[in-house]
Structure 1
Amino acid sequence: MKKQSISWRLGILLSCLVVLLQGCLWFGGGNSEFKQTTVGNRQVGVNQNPNLFRGKIYFTIDHNLWVLDGLTNSLKQLTKGQTVSDPAVSPDGKWIAFTVRFKNYSDIEYMSVNGGPWHMLLDGNGHYYFVPGLDVPKDDFKWNVQPRWAPDSKHLLFLSDFQKEDWYQYTHYDAPVLDLQIYEMSIDEPNNYNAVQDVAYAYVGDGGDSDPSFRPGHPDQIIYTHYAYDNTHTQQVIQLFMEDPNEIARKPHGTYYPGLPGFDPGIAITPPNVQCLEPAFSPDGNTIAYIRRESDGQMGLYVMPTPEGVTTNPNDPTVEKQALLPYQQSKLLVKGEFVSQPVWSPDGKAIAYFFYSNEEFNLWLLKLNYNQKTKTYSPAGSPIQLTSGGVDGDSHPFWTA
Structure 2
Amino acid sequence: MVRQRGKGIIYLLGLLILSLQSCSLLGGDSQGNFQTSYVSSAGTPVAINQTARNTFQGHIYFTLHRDLAVIDGKLNVTRLTQGLDVRDPSISPDGRWIAFQARYKNYSDLMLMPTQGGKPRVLRTGAGIYESNPGFAPHATYLWYAQPAWAPDNKHLLFLSDYDKQHVTDPNVDAFLIDPQIFSIQLDHPDGTPQEIAYATYGDGGLRDPVYRPGHSDQIAYTNFTYDSSRIKQSIQIYLEDPNAIAHHPDKYRPGDISDEFDPAVALTPRLPDLANMQPAFSPDGNAIAYIRRLDANHMGLFVMPVPPGASTLTQVPNNAQDDQRALEGYSKSIQLVTGEYISNPIWSPDGKYIAYTGYANNTFDIWLAPLKRNAQRNIYSLQGQPVQLTNANGQLDADSRPFWSS
Q: Structure 2 length as normaliser, TM-score?
A: 0.88
Residue in 2 aligned with 1:164?
165
Shift of 1:149: 0.6
What is the aligned partner in structure 2 of residue 266 from structure 1?
265
Deviation at 1:332, TM superposition (A): 0.2
- What CA deviation, in whole Å up to 9, does each residue of 1:218-277 have, x standing for no partner? 000000000111111111110000100000001134642343475111111101222101
**How does 1:121-270 map onto structure 2 within 5 Å?**
121-129=123-131, 131=133, 133-134=135-136, 136-167=137-168, 169=170, 173=173, 175-192=175-192, 194=193, 196-253=194-251, 255-260=253-258, 262-270=261-269
Match of 1:4 in 2: none
The equivalent residue for 1:97 is 99
What is the rounded CA distance, in whole Å, between the counterparts of 1:213 and 1:284 in structure 2?
A: 14
Unaligned runs of 5+ in 2: 1-24
Verify the 8 A CA contact 1:180 1:208 in the aligned structure 2.
Answer: yes
Question: What is the distance in 2 between the residues matched to 1:362 and 1:270?
Answer: 28
Q: Contact 2:345–2:357 at 8 Å: present in 1 too? A: yes
Pair 1:393-2:393 in alignment:
no
Residues 38 and 78 of structure 2 are in contact (CA less than 8 Å); yes or no, is this contact kept in structure 1? no
Superposed CA offset, 1:52-95 (max 9, x none): 3100000000110000112x111100000010010001001110
Matches within 5 A, 1:374-385: 374-385=378-389
1:318 is the counterpart of 2:322: yes
1:111-130 matched pairs, under 5 angstroms: 111-129=113-131
State the secondary structure of the residue aligned to 1:277: strand
SS in 2 for 1:175: helix
Aligned pair partner of 2:63 in 60, 63, 74: 60
8 Å contact kept, 1:258–1:264: no
Alpha-carbon offset, residue 131 of structure 1: 4.9
Q: Which has the larger radius of gyration?
A: 1
CA-CA distance at 1:176 after TM superposition: 4.2
Shift of 1:323: 0.9
Is this contact kept in 2: 1:129–1:137, CA < 8 A? yes
Offset, 1:36: 4.6
Cα 1:314–1:53 change in 2 (3 A) is same
Q: 2:95 and 2:221 mapped to 1: Cα distance? A: 22
Task: Quote the offset at 1:357 in angstroms.
Answer: 1.9
Partner Cα distance (2:30, 2:176) in 1: 48
Aligned with residue 84 of structure 1, among 83, 86, 109: 86
Query: What is the aligned partner in structure 2 of residue 18 from structure 1?
Result: none
Letter in 1 for 2:326: Q
Q: Alpha-carbon deviations, 1:71-121, whole Å to 9, x = none?
A: x11110000001001000100111000000000000001011111222211
The equivalent of 1:20 in structure 2 is none
Alpha-carbon separation, structure 2, partners of 1:353 and 1:394: 12
Contact 2:253–2:264 (CA under 8 A) maintained in structure 1: no
Identity of aligned residues (%): 45
Is the Cα–Cα contact under 8 Å of residues 166 and 174 in structure 2 kept in the other structure? no
1:333 equivalent in structure 2: 337
Measured after TM superposition, the shift of residue 206 of structure 1 is: 2.5
8 Å Cα contact 2:356-2:368 kept in structure 1 = yes
- Indicate the residue corresponding to 2:4 in structure 1: none
Amino acid at match of 2:62: F
Which moves more between the two structures, 285-294 or 202-211?
Answer: 202-211
Say if 1:167 and 1:177, in contact at 8 Å, map to a contact too.
Answer: no
Query: What residue identity is the alignment partner of 1:157?
Result: L
Q: Secondary structure at the match of 1:319?
A: helix
Residue in 2 that maps onto 1:28: 29
Give the aligned partner of residue 12 of structure 1. Answer: none
Residues 174 and 223 of structure 1: is their aligned pair in 2 closer, same or farther, counting only changes over 3 Å? closer
Q: Is the 8 A contact 1:123 1:191 kept in 2?
A: no
Larger relative contact order (Cα-Cα within 8 Å, sequence gap ≥ 6):
2
Q: Distance in 1 between matches of 2:65 and 2:350?
A: 26
- Aligned to 2:197, what secondary structure does the other structure show? strand
Residue 35 of structure 1: CA displacement?
A: 2.6
The 8 Å contact of residues 252 and 262 in structure 2, kept in 1 or not, is answered as: no
> Aligned-pair RMSD on alpha carbons?
1.8
Q: How big is the shift at 1:27?
A: 1.5
Query: Which of residues 36, 42, 45 is equivalent to 1:43?
Result: 45
TM-score (norm 1): 0.89
Q: Which amino acid letter does the alignment assign opposite residue 320 of structure 1? A: D
Q: 1:167, CA displacement in angstroms?
A: 4.2
- Whether the 8 Å contact between 1:168 and 1:176 is mirrored in structure 2 is no
- Paired residues of 2:255 and 2:261 also in contact (CA < 8 A): no
Q: Equivalents in 2 of 1:29, 1:80: separation in Å?
A: 29
Instruction: Work out the CA distance in 2 between the residues paired with 1:262 and 1:284.
Output: 33
Q: How many residues align?
A: 373
Runs (4+) of structure 1 exceeding 6 A deviation are: none
- From the superposition, tell whether residues 258 and 106 of structure 1 become closer, same or farther in structure 2 (CA, over 3 Å): farther
What is the one-letter code of the residue matched to 2:243?
P
Q: What one-letter code is carried by the residue in structure 2 that aligns with 1:264?
A: D
C-alpha separation in 2, matches of 1:92 and 1:41: 34
State the shift of 1:197 in Å. Answer: 0.3
Question: How many angstroms apart in 2 are the aligned matches of 1:109 and 1:373?
Answer: 42
